[in-house]
Amino acid sequence: MSAPARLDAAASPGGRQRSRADVVINLIVVLAVLAAIVVGLSTHRFATVANAKAIITSAGLVGIAALGLTLITIGGSAVSLAIAPTVAAVGMMFLSAQSLGLVPALAIALLCGVVITGVQGAVVGYAAANPVVLTIAASFAITGLAIGISGGASVAPTGSGYDRLNATPGGVALSVYVLIVLALAVEWTLRRTGFGRSLYLIGANRPAARAAGLPVGRTTAVAWLGAGALFAVTAAFTAAFNTSANVNLGGTLTFDAIAAVLAGGTSIAGGRGSALRTLAGAVLIAGVSDILLLRGYSTGVQIMVKGLIVLFVVVIVHLRTKGSRA
């Protein structure tokens, strides 16, 4: 569907019109950023060190999950709508495995996340199943299984090892450091390894990647495995922070992660984007949420604004992509 669109764009407008349109788009982006900064600075208690810490702490958890989603999106599998249920299910496993000690519990959580998400990735990679509809089904299945096994009750930790994840070295949550390390690791994998380059190619043009002999199915499945591991890390931190876990542990994480990835400017069509962009997107979304919270808006308004930001960025990224290819 997008191929004819690009051709149309390339054929119709002249070069000068194109560049003028680009200037307008850039102007809109700059104005939007300036408006956000002005609103932020005029908000009481926004520009304080304590608030900055609050923003990066809340960006931490969403950011790690969003890094996982970045792998999925760059590989051309659009988005997973099963992030929150996966995080909830893995968080429940993590807390109930606490009696074994922190490291074995983390290993179990990682294994769980990798298996749950990897199975979906294998289906998407090898059969080219529609990832959005498949993950909707998966989210339902995961929640159903979690309720069936737990009986719908909250899981309490069976040990206290998890508390080490709540450490705040230097006054900043441990998850923030983990996010930064993981973002650099994912960025390095995407830029410097054969896997990363294949992933960009597959995301940009799946048939061409297949024709070039790239292992499309395997690469996609591996990207989802990585995403599953990152969801599991998010789950461990979220569960440790809440000290109990039920099927609602994920909350609005699915939407938050999608918002972070898309707000960072990663194209949902695949083949473009980076881990560092997602990092910026996560901070942006956390910052906007924080402004709305400080100004006393409800959760509903916060979610609505996230949706509108995603819509705005999707339109802008699409227009810019068209411009650069014309």
The interface with another protein within residues 99-138 (CB under 8 A) comprises 123, 126-130, 132-134, 136-138
Interface residue with another protein among 14, 148, 213, 296 (CB under 8 A) is 148
Interface segment toward another protein; rule CB under 8 A; list 27-35, 175-183, 222-230, 251-259: 251-259
Ramachandran region, residue 213 (left: φ > 0; alpha: ψ -120 to 50; beta: rest): left
| Nearby residues of 166 by Cβ (< 8 Å), 6 or more positions away | 173, 174, 240, 241
The interface with another protein within residues 67-86 (CB under 8 A) comprises 78-79, 81
Q: Does 93 bind another protein (CB under 8 A)?
A: no
Interface residue with another protein among 222, 223, 227, 259 (CB under 8 A) is 259
Q: Does 253 bind another protein (CB under 8 A)?
A: no
Q: Smallest Cα–Cα separation from 62: which of 187, 241, 222, 221? A: 241
Interface segment toward another protein; rule CB under 8 A; list 57-65, 96-104, 228-236, 253-261: 253-261
* Structure token digits, residue 210: 């297949």
Interface segment toward another protein; rule CB under 8 A; list 23-31, 97-105, 234-242, 252-260: 252-260
Interface pattern 4-43 for another protein (x via CB under 8 A): xx--xx----------------------------------
Q: What is the DSSP letter of 269?
A: T
| Nearby residues of 108 by Cβ (< 8 Å), 6 or more positions away | 93, 94, 97, 100
Task: Give the binding-site size for another protein (rule: CB under 8 A).
Answer: 55
Alpha-carbon torsion, ordered 51, 54, 58, 59, to 10 deg: 60
Q: Smallest Cα–Cα separation from 83: which of 128, 143, 34? A: 143
CA distances from 112 to 87, 91, 97, 109, 238 (A): 10, 10, 12, 5, 15
Cβ-count burial 297-317 (b if 16+ within 10 Å, e if not) = eeeeebbebbeebbeebeebb
Interface residue with another protein among 21, 314, 320, 323 (CB under 8 A) is 314
CB of 309 to another protein, least distance (A): 8
Q: In terms of CB distance, is 182 or 227 closer to another protein?
A: 227
Interface segment toward another protein; rule CB under 8 A; list 27-35, 88-96, 180-188, 315-323: 315-323
Cβ-count burial 114-139 (b if 16+ within 10 Å, e if not) = bebbbebbbbbbeeebebeebbeebb
Q: What is the DSSP letter of 46?
A: -
The interface with another protein within residues 179-238 (CB under 8 A) comprises 206-207
Question: ∠ CA(96), CA(102), CA(107), 5° rounding?
Answer: 80
What are the two backbone dihedrals, phi and then psi, of residue 240, each rounded to the nearest 5 degrees? -65, -40
CB 275 within 8 A of CB 65: no
Interface segment toward another protein; rule CB under 8 A; list 27-35, 172-180, 225-233, 314-322: 314-322
Residue with tokens 């962009």: 277
Q: In terms of CB distance, is 9 or 100 closer to another protein?
A: 9
Interface segment toward another protein; rule CB under 8 A; list 91-99, 156-164, 261-269, 277-285: 261-269
CB of 173 to another protein, least distance (A): 26
Interface segment toward another protein; rule CB under 8 A; list 90-98, 222-230, 232-240, 310-318: 310-318
Q: Does 293 bind another protein (CB under 8 A)?
A: no
Q: Which residues bind another protein (CB under 8 A)?
A: 1-2, 4-5, 8-9, 78-79, 81, 123, 126-130, 132-134, 136-141, 143-145, 147-148, 206-207, 255, 258-259, 262, 268-269, 297-308, 310-311, 314-315, 318-319
